[in-house]
Structure 1
Amino acid sequence: MRIGIVNDVPMVQELLRRIISKMSGHEVAWLASDGEEAIAKCSSDKPDLVLMDLIMPGINGVEATRRIMQESPCLIMVVTASVEANQGLAFDAISAGAIDVVKTPEAVMESESGPFQKKINNISRIIGNGNVAADGRSNGKTGIKTRHDEVPSKDAMLIGIGASTGGPAALVEVLKTLPASFPAALVVVVHVDEEFAPGMAEWMGGQINLPVHLVREGERPKAGEVLFAATNEHLVLNHHQRFHYTAEPVECHYRPSVDAFFSSLALNWRGDAIGVLLTGMGRDGAKGLKSMREHGWLTIAQDEESSAIYGMPKAAAMIGAAVKILPLDKIGPELVRKARK
């Protein structure tokens, strides 16, 4: 991959440059010392990936990410000295379209298996290899009782929504149109590190009419709630109609995988369902969405014009997985119409 580096500290710029130069298959496209320079360079020479600092003079990393995603969309990973100390800004950057956040590596000789290198190589594999098929089978008994212990009826509706790059803003756009009395359960699977899942769920809950919480192991869907996948393991629905986290398929680079969840719905869900695939990099969700369509359920993919990154919805459209391809502002009203039938 061609990688752009954005950091106002020359020592950190050089550290990142040297690390990337030692990584097979990657090269530095350019260096930028602030957000304004990064925006200009993305416009004139768009790289495969931008490594974005958060705190810089002038335009900071959050605003630079937002501007780049609006003007010259490309993949952006935030690289910061302290993820914990800068969690608020990091989450703002993810909301603006960044795909991930990682701590600045400490040395050039850091192992190839270090978090920084692993995340870059994972992005490269996703870009190069597309999606890995996932059947979403659950191979463990949860045995856990939760407050959602009522078995869903055959008339119950469950709506699964998957997203990646640009997903948080798109999700809010869809979910804010749903009333507090919405009669279906909703489950959201987004490619976000488990470190940021609680903050994203809380942020989303402050902007929509429905309660939002992280999916707990063994929980069952409940109408009128938005459940958010909480870990780096894949979320699936097992044949007991309960949610389960699983490492399988281990070879899947997307975590948590939308395909794994959608496929598990097609395999195990006893009621009605709708699958929605929003903006995002790669192909995750397309095969699972097709499984849902083949089950006779409504499936929706976001259209190209309204997508920040037209990867996942495009993959769904190309294999005929979507019954409907809709602009973002039409998806929420369509869910309301269908759920009230």
Structure 2
Amino acid sequence: MPAERLLPTTEAKDLVDLAREIARDELAPHAAEYEEAERFPREQFRLLGKSGLLGLPYSERWGGGEVPYEVYLQALEEIAAAWMSVGVGLSVHTMSCFALAHHGTDAQRDRWLPGMLDGDLLGGYALSEPHAGSDAAALSTRARRDGDVYRVDGTKAWITHAGQADFYTTMVRTSEADISCLLIDGATPGLSAGKPERKMGLTGSTTAQLRFDDARVEADRLIGEEGQGLKIALSSLSSGRLGIAACAVGLAQAALDEAVTYAKGRSQFGKPIIDFQGVEFLLADMAAAVETSRAMYLDAARRRDRGLPFRRQASIAKLTATDAAMKVTTDAVQVLGGAGYTKDFPVERYMREAKVPQIFEGTNQIQRMVIARELREM
């Protein structure tokens, strides 16, 4: 059943209702087919763009919705509940727009941001490398200034939308001491994508390496100043972690809904299995985990909307929500029993999809480190 929403305005409620309607009518009917075929849902991202859902937290001046983050995240949750690959893709795209929206010049935003927010351009976020995942400061992809261009060499790894995106917000080393941010066109000569990773879940979402071989990037695509890249990356990740938390809650809600529906309809020993204490307690714990996780991401989002520090709360929300999604989806399979282990029901896919949110945007072990460091500084 749809989650009860406590939204600040009628307009916000209408927006989340629109996201729920699109998710129900345009996304959910295709999810299983696309995931089975490992087919990338580009047309669905265009639909989200034309519906005004691809740039919700950004300024109306450049085509965004300019809504509070708590509203954007609840719309994102609805989309992820219908199709996790699209939800994660929307979260990644939103994070890919962050650097330009918050650190670019007005001229840069006028040039690129409208297309990024209206569905014409899809983004990727290129930070991780084969030997620099959680250790972002250790990245080795180089960008050497050569007149009016940067010449980029190196490899990025685990890039969502690699080979599909139209632009990549890319962190590069511009000197031994400096990490900088480049907004790189996906059609740049010398830029190529590797073979897609063979994943256990989110198979409709392409993940691959990005390879730069003397790729020439115009110098006016530098976002911020040289040396600001790590700061930009970390601030992007704090907001991005809230997106992943919302996606995880959506996935867990979908699994809970499926488990409740099955438990009401499946009878054993003359009564629905939902009437057995072993099942009803399991469902109650699942519901508690979903609603607790939702409350955590909304609390962090409201802090962000008020301009308060929220980095610790974002890490707590990401940690809480993704761990909960893994448990809730596993328990959903248990409620369905043998049926849950088959592809005739979506909970086996939900369970496979729940694993990677515990890993990307900083593993949950990294989230614990972030939380602990923030506590030390209090």
What is the TM-score normalised by the length of structure 1?
A: 0.26
Q: Give the structure with the higher percent helix.
A: 2
What is the TM-score normalised by the length of structure 2?
A: 0.24
